[in-house]
Every structure is written in structure tokens, then in C-alpha cells.
Homo-oligomer: A and B are copies of this chain.
Amino acid sequence: MPERFGRRIPEPTVVRLPVYQRVLLELSSHGVATISSAELADAAGVNAAKVRKDLSHFGTYGTPGTGYDVDFLLGQIQRELGTDQERPVVIVGIGHLGHALARSQGFAGSGFRLAGLFDSDHKVVGEQVRGVRIRPISDLAGVCRSEKVAVGIITTPAVAAQEVADHLVTAGVGAILNFAPAVLSVPSEVQVRHVDFSAELQVLAFYQAHPEAAPTREAAVTLREARSRRPGPALSMEAGENGGRRALSEGRPGT
């Protein structure tokens, strides 16, 4: 029996769920009906054991001898991730990056809704991005409370980040995605994730300068390659012209 919750879910597992979700979404749109852990692993750039172990934390979703039903598994993952509900988020700091995130496609379809944009600069307050008005920081706490905002995104300069985080925490926001290059100090019950563009560049540069110190990476494979490297027809980009849903590696049709 799978470990039906109460248990801790490893962070690396949770990080991989959105990747599986994306692959399954694409497979589903191509009319693929079932997929094995090995194929899903190829497409996600991980290995098959990891896929199976990851999924086993949530339930028994596969069928021995066949694999996983794409649409069913997709539904389960979306349920776990809460992609079905709409979580309100705010972005604080509407510079170029804040603008870019506000306009990105990452919200719709991933279960998030832009509940507010905030900036301290009087010159941008009042502007609209995607139909959402930019408000002054003084409105932040009020909006977070009234809209029950779950996640706050910080895209301010580093010097302002801690102050904004304090406002968010005070307003009851329980999760923060921080793009500012600063370490935030928040109560331990608040979740924080840090996205640091220049740190990522530096990590790449480091391993480039010291190849002998580099970890060995697992090679990923495109969906098309995942299919062609295993027995089965090539993955067509025109979804299922034969009408029926297919397994990713069923026997060649018409032979």
C-alpha cells in the first residue's frame, strides 16, 4: 500500500511533480493514452525508479504490465498540486521582472490568479498590467487579507525585500517566492522559495571553470526521442488521426 499521507513528502519529489504534469499534459494533447515509468522518466529527464517512487508517495496509480493511464495520472497530479483551485497571488515590485512575471502565462493553467500588483514608486502606481492596477505598498496588507492571498512574490530590489516580506507575513501570507537577491528572515511556519538568477549563472560558471568538480548529469530525451528509442511508432504532432487513444509504445499499427 502506498503511504497515504501524514508522511513527509521529500522536497525533490514535489519539485518534480510540475515536470511530470507538463509532460503528461503534452502527451494527453497528443492523444497518448498510457505511458510507462521508463518513458515518463525519459521525457522528464529522470530515471524510472525515481518516477515510480515519487508517485508511490501519493497513491497506486499504475497498472502492472501496462503503465499509467495518462489522463488519470495527470488528474491525480493536478489534484495533489491543487492546480484545480485558483490561488490568489500578489506581486510586489513592478520593475521589469515584476512586469514580466505579471504578464507571463505561468498563472493561468497553473492554478494561480493575479490578485494584486504593488510598487512603492508613485510613478508606476495606477498603471495597469493585464487589467490589474498597480497599487501602493500601503494597500498590500489590506488586499492580502481581504483576498485571502496565499502566495506573495517579491520582485523588489534586495534592500526592500525584507521589509516587503515582513508586510506579507503580517498580512497572513504563508508562502513567499523571492526573486530579490537577499536572504529573507521570516517565521518558520512561512514557506519561502528563492529564485536567484545571478546565483544560477554563477553555479554554471563555477562548474565550467572546474569541470573535474562537476556532478554527472542524467541525460534527458525529448518526447519524440523517448518514443523512437523504444519500439513503437513516432510521436505524431497531429493528435491521434486514427481517432483512438494510444499507448506510447504499443506495437506498430498496421503490421
Contact = CB atoms under 8 A, between A and B. Distances in A.
A195 interface: yes
Contacts of A82: 205-206, 209
Interface in A77-108: 80-83, 87, 89, 95-97, 99-101, 103-104, 106-107
Given A7-B213, A87-B205, A202-B110, A183 B45 contact: yes
B183 A204 contact: no
B111 A219 contact: no
A170 B80 CA distance: 39
A202 B83 contact: yes
Interface of A: 5-11, 14-15, 17-19, 22-23, 43-45, 80-83, 87, 89, 95-97, 99-101, 103-104, 106-107, 110-112, 150-151, 153, 162, 174-177, 181-188, 191-193, 195-210, 212-217, 219-222, 225
